[in-house]
Amino acid sequence: MAQRAASVKDEMVQRHSRFVERRQKQGERLKLPLLPTTLIGSLPQTSEMRTARAAYKSGKMERTSYEAFLRKEIEQAIRFQEEVGLDVLVHGEFERNDMVEYFGEQLEGMAVTQNGWVQSSGSLCVRPPILYGDIARERPMTVGWSRYAQSLTTRPVKGMLTGPVTIQQWSFVRDDQPRSETCYQLALALRDEVLDLEAAGLRVIQIDEPALREGLPLRHADRSSYLSWAIACFHIASAGVRDDTQIHTHMCYGKFNDIIEAKGNMDADVLAIESARSGLGLLEALVAYRYPNDIGPGLYDMHSPRIPSREELEEALRRILLVVPAQQVWVNPDCGLKTRRWEEIRPALTHLVEAARATRASLGAFFTGQEGK
């Protein structure tokens, strides 16, 4: 993998066509309405789910039983999202303990611990992997569950990956080579996964990079170099797909206004970004900088059990539309819903979809020229 990273070619770090051309092809393939609704990725991880995962890892539950349990959970999640009325679905990430540890368990050159807990936020703790050697992906990591989820519905289901910068930033990283070189290796491994997801029929693939801002050097003189290789790594991971495959990314846990142009340079087709938690403070940056691609500023703060009303979400969406053209706006929560309860997210997401539909109807224009779902 080190040799492969050293031979990255220019064509590997950019999409085949400009966004305006990709958007047209994706619109024809996905047939989404104006203001499409989606989730960030994870759905509630119940005590039953955590118990089943622990039993499987300890050898108390057989693989066949565990996989049957996961299939049941994924199907229920798909049906739930269809019932609520979301446009682009997620499989829920029920098989994943953590968004970085899950990949650390499967990539060569990374090791995971049993008790190496680190506080993440509040009372939440994670076990960062140890990135000790050259990175390699021996087999697909997410394709099976993503393919299964997509087989359950005609609506697009996202393939879900954690990006190379975030995997590196949230791991203990080898120090015998530049971090940029390590990140290139991660990006190439993820590139292979992305292409396998596309080949498996996934029309939408999300590569999360919440730690991009976190990795920004304290010295301003070093920031340009960091952003150059960090964004190049995102391109390596994402740029091999066809024009009609839609690439999403997600960012949270930070104030991103000062790197909004760098986010635009990532050239993801859709950026979902935390916004509600800061009172839609992101809009200040979007006034000064015309974001070039599609964007979904989060409409409600999922870190709280509070359930937003439809009216509240409509008002937030109207504020966004004063700054961003409707054709570019996606409707989504701030972040994943792993820590929430089903009884909280059902009404919240129902209100989210209702707010999008009401606003969509008031605008009276659709990408497809047809009624929304």
Tally the domains of the chain.
Answer: 1
351 is annotated as an active-site residue: no
pLDDT tens digits, one per residue of 209-253? 999 999 999 999 999 999 999 999 999 999 999 999 999 999 887
The conformational region for residue 369 under phi > 0 = left, psi -120 to 50 = alpha, else beta, is left
125 inside domain = yes
Rounded CA-CA distance 117/145 in Å is: 27
Give the residue among 188, 283, 309 at the shortest CA–CA distance from 238: 188
Q: Which of 91, 248, 303, 351 is catalytic?
A: 303
Residue 278's pLDDT is 80
Which tokens belong to 180?
């940029």
355 inside domain = yes
Residue 86's pLDDT is 98
Residue 303's pLDDT is 85
- Tell me the percentage of the chain whose pLDDT exceeds 70: 95
370 inside domain = no
Q: What are the φ/ψ torsions at residue 159 (nearest 5 degrees)?
A: -80, 135
pLDDT tens digits, one per residue of 57-106? 999 999 999 999 999 999 999 999 999 999 999 999 999 999 999 999 99
55 inside domain = no
Half-sphere exposure of residue 131, counting CA atoms within 13 Å on the CB side? 30
- Tell me the percentage of the chain whose pLDDT exceeds 90: 80
Residue entry with tokens 């700054």: 323
**Any alpha helices (H) in 152-259, and if so which ranges?**
164-169, 179-199, 220-238
Residue 260's pLDDT is 86
186 inside domain = yes
Residue 281's pLDDT is 82
Which tokens belong to 284?
């200040």
pTM value surpassing 0.75: yes
Q: What share of the chain is helix, strand, coil (3-state, %, to 5)?
A: 45, 15, 40
What is the Cα gyration radius of the chain? 20
Residue 372's pLDDT is 42
Mean pLDDT of the chain: 92
Residue 1's pLDDT is 65
Angle CA 268–274–116, to nearest 5 = 95
Report the run of H or E that residue 161 belongs to, with start and end: strand 158-162
Structural domain harbouring 113:
2-46+78-363
Rounded CA-CA distance 349/355 in Å is: 10
67 inside domain = no
Residue 254's pLDDT is 65
191 inside domain = yes
pLDDT tens digits, one per residue of 121-150? 777 789 999 999 999 999 999 999 999 999
51 inside domain = no
pLDDT tens digits, one per residue of 262-317? 899 999 999 999 888 888 888 888 988 999 999 999 999 888 899 999 999 999 99
What CATH number is attached to the domain comprising 274?
Answer: 3.20.20.210
Grade residue 355 by pLDDT with cuts at 50, 70 and 90: very high
